Structure 1
Amino acid sequence: MTGETDRREAAERLALALVAAGMQRMAARALAAFLFSDEESLTAGDLADELGVSAGSVSGAIRTLAQLGLIERSFVAGSRREHFRMRENAWTTVYSRQHSMVDDVLSAAEKGIDAVGPGLAHDRLVYMRDFYTFLLNEVPALVERFEQQRAGAQRSRRRGGPRP
Structure 2
Amino acid sequence: MTSETARRDAAESLALALVGAGMQRMASRTLAAFLFADKESLTAGDLADELGVSAGSVSGAIKMVAQMGLIERSFVAGSRREHFRMRDNAWTTLYSRQHSILDDVLSAVERGVDAVGSGPAYDRLTYMRDFYTFLLNEVPALVERFEQQRRAGRRP
TM-score (norm 1): 0.92
Q: CA RMSD in A?
A: 1.3
Q: Aligned residue for 2:138?
A: 138
Q: Which contiguous aligned blocks of 4+ residues in structure 1 show a shift greater than 3 angstroms? A: none
Q: Aligned residue for 1:73?
A: 73
Per the TM alignment, residue 100 of structure 1 is displaced from its structure 2 partner at its CA by 1.2
Deviations 1:61-106 (A, max 9, x none): 0000000000000000000000000000001110121111111110
CA distance in 2, matches of 1:91, 1:2: 30
Q: Where do 5+ consecutive residues of structure 2 fail to align?
A: none
Letter in 2 for 1:149: Q
Equivalent residues, number: 156
Per the TM alignment, residue 6 of structure 1 is displaced from its structure 2 partner at its CA by 1.0
Q: Aligned residue for 1:55?
A: 55
Q: Aligned residue for 2:126?
A: 126
Matches within 5 A, 1:13-92: 13-92=13-92
User: Greater CA deviation, 55-64 or 91-100?
Assistant: 91-100
Deviations 1:22-66 (A, max 9, x none): 110000000110011110000000000000000000001000000
Percent sequence identity is: 82
Q: Aligned residue for 1:105?
A: 105
CA distance in 1, matches of 2:127, 2:113: 10
Letter in 2 for 1:151: R
> Match of 1:72, SS?
strand
Letter in 1 for 2:12: E
Q: Where do 5+ consecutive residues of structure 1 fail to align?
A: 155-162
TM-score (norm 2): 0.96
Letter in 2 for 1:153: G
CA distance in 2, matches of 1:99, 1:4: 37
CA distance in 1, matches of 2:5, 2:130: 47
> Match of 2:31, SS?
helix
Q: Please tell me whether the aligned partners of residues 16 and 28 of structure 1 are also in contact (alpha carbons under 8 angstroms).
A: yes
Q: Please tell me whether the aligned partners of residues 96 and 139 of structure 1 are also in contact (alpha carbons under 8 angstroms).
A: no
Deviations 1:135-164 (A, max 9, x none): 11111111100000111126xxxxxxxx66
